[in-house]
Amino acid sequence: MRNLKVMTAYRGTKYHGFQRQSNAVTVQETLEKHLSKVLNEPVTVTGCSRTDTGVHANNFCFNVKTNSRISCLGFQRGVNGELPDDISILSCEEASSDFHARFDCVGKEYIYKMHCSESKNPFASDLMFHYRRKFDIDAAKRAAEYLVGEHDFASFCADCTNVSTTIRTIYSFRIENCGDSVTMLVKGSGFLYNMIRIIVGTLIDVSEKRISPDDIPSILAAKNRLRAGRTAMAHGLYLNRVFYSKAELFDDE
């Protein structure tokens, strides 16, 4: 049996996250439906991560095991011909039989996009969080510096009951702006449930001076979700890259 490593991108607006659910349409369900048709056999997709309702992905990895002899290019073309316009297969390659998209992942990078203007952007209503104030980039950058490194991120987790540890490592945290757009890029070893959205919400609170940048160490030390800021809206969040080797993870550091 072959094991295919597949990269995909999707616009999460119409989906209740990646993982299959019994009562809602998800990305996984949609992929499995169309892959099974192209491969002419029922298949199960193993994703690299779960994403929330409305969250997008620029690069999302999954693996799928199949008896089909279809070429990788044929797979890409065939599946793309079946999928709806908001999901795309970016690449397909042969993987070892034991490759696992989730467990073999050594790091991930997320992007959060904000449109900071009194006027909304009609071309990005579901792709960027509309923030109607000026965003204090300098204060947010000072706060973000405290988050880089290995920390217990329990204060930035919406539900920690299903994880063995809340310790994670953030390797880099960049905040960039161009005109009315603010983009946050966070690369780490892994992320807790809603961790990025809570971090972004906390930085919004920093921008609004509800939280001081220098409060971040005490928020981390508290290990209490109530000490951190709000949870930012899902539609500004993108899984941007997933890494399967340390060299790839640190090649731009």
Instruction: Write out the catalytic residue numbers.
Output: 52
97, 105, 21: which is closest to 64 by C-alpha? 97
3-state secondary structure of 54: coil
Burial class (CB in 10 A: 0-12, 13-18, 19+), 102: middle
Report DSSP letters for 149-197, one per residue: EEEE-GGG-S--TT-S--EEEEEEEEEEEETTEEEEEEEES---TTHHH
Dihedral of CA 203/59/25/85: which sign? positive
What would you report as the CA-atom Rg of the chain, rounded to the nearest whole angstrom? Answer: 19
Scan for tokens 């199960």, then name that residue: 44
